[in-house]
Amino acid sequence: MRRLLVTLAATLALFGLTNAFAATPPKPAKTETAVFAGGCFWCMEHDMQGVPGVLKVESGYTGGHVKNPTYRDVTSEQSGHYESVRVTYDPAKLDYGFLLYRYWKLVDPTDDGGQFCDRGPSYRPAVFVTPAQRPIAEKSRAEAAKRLKSGTMKAQILDLKTFYPAEEYHRDYAKRHALDYAAYRTGCGRDATLKQVWGG
């Protein structure tokens, strides 16, 4: 009886282990990254996380001259950095061109003084690119400019240097502080402005 129970337990354990492996989706063989600035990185992070094929979105800072900047450094407008997000995605399911198309719809590229209620250089819209990404981004920018319902395109395409992840407090902010995030987003007028800029 004991031997039967041991055998049964081992079989069940093996079955459970097999199912666990089967339930775990395989990691893509190759991933790529894209870096975007579009005002508050809480909003950019939240909106990019919902794109099919996106594996990870990180809030952070890039474009400036200060190494390992803090949030205070960036919002002081003395570091040269932009609030930004780094998007890791599966190129077998999503291409860079579509990410760019999605990005433009999330920002007001006619405003180079900030974004929505957040004002200052660190909140300006920009796409940070590698040499291989630049021609794709420039073409996408030109196409987006034609779709604008008002204003002129002012968002820049800039060379990507170092991306610095933001402090833990800012990561996944919309998920961890849903009510505060919703109140901020509504109060900032982000969605209302986007409708004016892009229509719909």
Question: Which of 40, 43, 117, 188 is an active site residue?
Answer: 40
What is this structure's pTM? 0.85
Q: What is the mean pLDDT of the chain?
A: 90
Q: Is residue 192 part of a domain?
A: yes
Q: What is the pLDDT of residues 66-118, one digit of tens each?
A: 999 999 999 999 999 999 999 999 999 999 999 999 999 999 999 999 999 99
Tokens encoding 151:
């204003």
> Mean pLDDT lowest for which of 18-22, 115-119, 167-171?
18-22
- 15 — pLDDT class (breaks 50, 70, 90): very low
Q: Is residue 1 part of a domain?
A: no
CATH of the domain at 84: 3.30.1060.10
The DSSP element (H or E) to which 192 belongs, if any, is: helix 190-198
User: Quick check: is 40 catalytic?
Assistant: yes
**In sequence order, what are the beta bridge partners of 27?**
none
Q: Residue 16 above 80 pLDDT? A: no
**Structural domain count of the chain:** 1
Torsional sign, CA 66, 62, 159, 91: positive
